[in-house]
Chain A
Amino acid sequence: MMLDVQEATVRYGAITALHGISFQINEGEIVTLLGANGAGKTTTLRMLSGLHAPSSGAIFFEGADITNVKAHDFSAMGISHVPEGRRIFPQMTVEENLEMGAFKRSSAYHDDMSRMYETFPILKDRRKQLGANLSGGEQQMLAIARALMAQPRLLLLDEPSMGLAPMIVETIFRIIADIRKQGTTVFVVEQNAAQALRLADRGYVMENGRIVFSDTAQNLLHDERVRAVYLGESVES
């Protein structure tokens, strides 16, 4: 087991956003977390990268207790987070944004930079442009490439398809599948349930800060409850 979350509770002041949630991620998997607006998906990811320590419960990563590790130590530990809304540094160039991803690496990382430019050719063309001047799709690719620059073993993605044209979503999901093939474990939060379940091995469904059920992605895709709430009628097998 790569990641083990045990009864974690997260509070924002008086509001409890996560009510003692537990879940696991195995090495090499793509796991998705589904849920409606405000269910607590982003909060879960923020907890997994140290932005919000749980008030109770525990988190283990590769056997080590990381419950109280600070956010700035996560990237060196092997967990990278592609945040909701991409959060590209607006006044840095594409290249500088990629360098920020490698901030904690002491060894040379220029080979990785070239690999990112191969995976995302558009970023190479835009190398010297400011983050603020990229399109949404380009920003999402940059956010993913930036996270990969830290050489993570676990990649956290928060709604990578949000606000993007269907064709670009297609590309992004294909790239996520490739990332896993190259050995990085992926935990992806999505509202686009159909596409996420076709990509993932397993899924968890979250409602009001609780994980209400989980299953293989195949089974979830056919589950009555999931179909009714998250897939609507438009999705077949």
Chain B
Amino acid sequence: MGAFGHYLSGHFATFRLEFWSLFVGGVANGFLYGMIAVGYTLVYGVLRLINFAHSEIFMSGGFAGYFVMKALIGNSVPSGAATVFLIIVGIVVGGTAGALVATLLERVAYRPLRRRNAPKLAYLISAIGASYFLFNLAGKEFGRYSISMPQPYINHPVFHIFGAAVQLYYVVIFIAGVVMLFALDRVVATTKLGRSIRAVAQDAETASLMGVNIDRTIALTFIVGGALGGAAGFLFGLGTGVVYTMGFVPALKAFTAAVLGGIGNLRGAMIGGLLLGVVESLSVVFVQAAYIDVIAFGILVAVLLFRPTGILGERLGRAA
């Protein structure tokens, strides 16, 4: 509480610096939330269910990235050029792992329920079961302690914004986030796959009358959402390290972001992610850092209470 007043009384320069470095970190987190949130929103679109095992898709991307970084970097110190290559490899591997786990989830935890028209509650229980299974399996296999990822050359400041240093790590997240979210937006808006995803989201049965294969579209939706979630897991793990429970908080925040933007609304999830990242990060100026999660989940409760359709509202399957 007192912090803000303190800044105002004569330390404006320090305040400004802190503001901008918090802002940069918040935007980076926001992109990660956005990349996870689109997975929730896409799956919600085609199945009308919250994939509560999405956190483990994120986690699997983190571990896959960790293992490939360990194999490629080990104890060496990669050069700047090698770093670019390593990060691209990490994103691809993390994304692939995420897509694989998402496919597995769809096949094992959801499709059998769909086949026999199970009630929604069954999906929820199945999702929670799958989530517990996956993170406990990871805990058993990879240990229960956080492991830091062998790092390429990423803590080097690339440029400054109002005096605040922007490290390579953040630049990587900005670029990856912008590229992937933009590509996703265009794919959903303009391609045949995107059209089938939107058609299934709006009216699955009629989509099938048009020739859309519903099963295939749902599987591809999981793959697309899983790939972005897994890539986000790698990028997150790169900075924070990996552990079997790593998916829990970021994924819940991304879910908050998806609800904030309007669940089912793709651009809403992206905007919600960025907004949540920036707001929770800047809240440190006003309250203690320990309250950051309270702020984030307070937003979830507030949105659910006052505007359950989110900022952009539920516009199912709408792309542009």
Asked whether A and B interact, the reply is: yes
Chain B residue at minimum C-beta to C-beta distance from A149: B210
Q: Mark B175-219, 1 if CB is under 8 A from A, else 0.
A: 000000000000000001001101100110111111111100000
Asked whether any CB of chain A lies closer than 8 Å to the CB of B229, the reply is: no
The one of A83, A89, A103 that contacts B211, using a Cβ cutoff of 8 Å: A103
Q: Assuming A100-B195, A103-B195, A103-B196, is B202 touching A90 (CB within 8 A)? A: yes
Interface assignment of B92: CB less than 8 Å from any CB of chain A: no
Which residues in B have their C-beta under 8 angstroms from that of A72? 208-209, 211-214
Cβ A91 vs Cβ B208 within 8 A: no
The answer to the question of A175 belonging to the interface, with a C-beta cut-off of 8 Å to chain B, is no
Interface centre among B196, B199, B209, B211 (most CB of A within 10 A): B209
Q: Which residue of the partner chain, among B192, B211, B212, B316, contacts A91 with CB atoms under 8 Å?
A: B316
Given contacts A91-B315, A91-B318, A92-B198, contact A103 B212 (CB under 8 A): yes
- Smallest Cβ distance from B206 to chain A, in angstroms? 4
**Residues B208 and A51 in contact, CB atoms below 8 Å apart:** yes
Q: A72-B214, A91-B316 are in contact. Are A100 and B199 (CB under 8 A)?
A: yes
A22 to B211 CA separation, bound complex (whole angstroms): 26
Q: Is A96 an interface residue (CB 8 A)?
A: yes
Whether A89 contacts B208 by the Cβ 8 Å rule is no
Say yes or no: is B317 at the interface (Cβ < 8 Å to chain A): yes
- Name the distance in Å between B189's Cβ and chain A's nearest Cβ: 10
Chain A 69-103 near chain B by CB (<8 Å), digits 1 or 0: 01111111000110100010111100010011101
Is the pair B202, A92 in contact by a Cβ cutoff of 8 Å? yes
Contacts of B316 in A (CB 8 A): 91
Min Cβ gap A91→B in Å is 4
CB distance from A85 to the nearest CB of B (A): 10
- The B contact surface, by secondary structure, is helix
Q: How far is the CA of A235 from the CA of B211 in the complex (A)?
A: 40
Q: Given the complex of chains A and B, what is the CA–CA distance between A73 and B207 in angstroms?
A: 12
State in angstroms the CA–CA spacing of A81 and B211 once bound together.
Answer: 11
Contacts of A75 in B (CB 8 A): 209-211
Q: How far is the CB of A53 from chain B (nearest CB, A)?
A: 13
B79, chain A: closest CB distance, angstroms:
48
Size bracket of the A interface: 20 to 34
Report how far A71 CA is from B211 CA in the complex, Å: 7
Question: Within the assembled complex, what's the spacing in Å between the Cα atoms of A96 and B320?
Answer: 12
Q: Quick check: B210 and A103 within 8 Å, CB to CB?
A: yes
- Decide yes or no whether A104 CB sits under 8 A from chain B: yes
Question: Shortest beta-carbon distance, B194 to chain A, in Å?
Answer: 11
Complex contact B317–A91 (CB within 8 A): yes
- Once bound together, how far apart are the Cα atoms of A46 and B196, in whole Å? 21
Q: Which of A48-76 contact B (CB under 8 A)?
A: 49-51, 70-76
- Which of A70, A73, A81, A100 has its CB near the most chain B CB atoms (within 10 A)? A100
Q: Please, which residues of chain A bring their CB within 8 A of the CB of B318?
A: 91
A-B contact pairs, 6 of them (CB 8 A): A70-B213, A72-B212, A72-B214, A83-B209, A89-B203, A92-B202
Which residues does A use to contact B, with CB under 8 Å?
Answer: 49-51, 70-76, 80-81, 83, 87, 89-92, 96, 99-101, 103-104, 146, 150
Interface residues of B (CB under 8 A from A): 192, 195-196, 198-199, 202-203, 205-214, 315-318
Known: A83-B209, A89-B199, A103-B211. 4 other contacts (CB 8 A): A51-B205, A75-B211, A89-B207, A100-B199
